[in-house]
Amino acid sequence: SLTIGIVGLPNVGKSTLFNALTKNDVLAANYPFATIEPNVGVVGLPDDRLPKLGALYDSQKIVPAPVSFVDIAGLVRGASKGQGRGNAFLANIRDASAICQVVRAFSDPNVVHVDGKVSPADDIETINTELILADLQTIEKALPRLEKEAKLRKDRAAMVTAAKAAAELLDTGVTLYGGAAAAGIEVDQLRELHLLTTKPFLYVFNVDEEELNNAAFLDELRALVAPAEAVFMDAKVESELIDLPEDEARELLESIGQQEPGLNQLIRVGFRTLGLQTYLTAGPKESRAWTIPVGATAPEAAGVIHSDFQRGFIKAEIVSFDDLMTAGTMSAAKAAGKVRIEGKDYTMQDGDVVDFRFNV
């Protein structure tokens, strides 16, 4: 599943952030599974194109692409050695496709820091270390079995090699996501071990609202995690924004010099980190964004709507969102030669507005 796992030390603002995310429940009606598990939240990918498309087609509803977040509790210092609830967090985090670490960078003396001082660099290292130790344990546990199997099955040899190289890299304090490519480690060989540090990472820095416009401060934090992506927000402000009517929310954002809620940025960056993009469909019933991996072909994209669409795929009528808006209507776009007929080898582009033709 395409879920982003939220981790972080205690008291950094995870629950505040998660609650704000899940209160943003515009999707509840469209995605009823959104509320099945208390630690899972499904939110809509903010997309300015959808309301415009909806207006053009007079659509009854607008359905954004869903992005799932799961609150992963219990990843604390020493978790790999049994502290807190020990490795209980592993089951949850294994299912996540990307890991989002919330890092405290706000100074409030009333909120206790578990390590006694606010230090983003130390906190990031603490969490990384736990994830690395968990992976090392997984590999150490699996290696004797893998080596035994390698004696009987040739194809296991590459896995043993990759596992040993991975353990060596992890021992130096580097994650597999950060260092495997450079070290020539074939992480694909390790898929069945479900290692945590192979997942893409992104970071949310929970900062004081006064710092949101302090470029030097934000650059310092960004440098701690580059090339991973960093999002900055004041989780407390975000949780207030969510309860306000739209115009008051906009005023509050303006008063702190922000264009949009930090949550929106987080959802977008998370979506990108997962390697996803969207194409659009439009009609009187709904205007909707559909999630596909970057590089998906037209039949694969059709299959996201229904597997029959992929099986019976004939062709797709496609216009880019920008061309459609420039033309003003679909018939004008056709008259201008902007609507293309694409076959089964076409690679989908973000923002394609699509009408699939298929046999049933």
Give the interface with ligand GDP as residue ranges (CB under 6 A). Answer: 8, 10-16, 106, 108, 111, 206, 234-236
Is the Cβ–Cβ distance between 176 and 198 less than 8 Å? yes
Of 6 and 43, which has the nearer Cβ to ligand GDP? Answer: 6
Cβ 82 to ligand GDP, closest distance in Å? 20
19 in a labelled binding site: no
- Is 184 annotated to bind a ligand? Reply is no
* Distance of closest approach, residue 309 Cβ to ligand GDP, in angstroms: 42
Under a CB-based contact definition with an 8 Å cutoff, are residues 324 and 330 in contact?
Answer: yes
- CA 273 to chain CA mean position, Å: 5
Sheet holding 3-7, edge to edge: 40-44, 66-71, 3-7, 98-104, 201-206, 229-233
Q: Are strands 352-358 and 313-320 parallel, antiparallel or unpaired?
A: antiparallel
Q: Which is nearer to ligand GDP, 15 or 161 (CB)?
A: 15
Q: In what order do the strands lie in the sheet with 352-358?
A: 61-63, 286-293, 276-282, 352-358, 313-320, 340-342
Identify which of residues 211 and 352 has a Cβ nearer to ligand GDP in the complex.
211
Q: What 3-state DSSP class applies to 291?
A: strand
Residue 13 labeled ligand binder: yes
- Residues present in the chain in total: 360
Min separation Cβ 264 and ligand GDP, Å: 17
24: annotated binding-site residue?
A: no
Nearer to ligand GDP, 11 or 349 (CB): 11
Report the greatest alpha carbon distance in the chain: 67
Compute the least distance from the CB of residue 232 to ligand GDP, in Å.
Answer: 11
126 belongs to an annotated ligand binding site = no
From the CB of 220, what's the least distance to ligand GDP, in Å? 18
Choice between 17 and 339, CB closer to ligand GDP: 17
Report d(CA 101, CA 86) in Å as an integer.
Answer: 18
The reply, when asked if residue 174 is annotated as ligand binding, is: no
- Name which of 39 and 137 has its Cβ closer to ligand GDP: 39
Q: How far is the CB of 8 from ligand GDP (least distance, A)?
A: 6
For 84: left if phi > 0, alpha if psi spans -120 to 50, otherwise beta; the answer is left
Bridging pattern class, strands 66-71 and 3-7: parallel
> Which residues contribute to the annotated binding site?
11-16
Known binding positions for ATP = 11-16
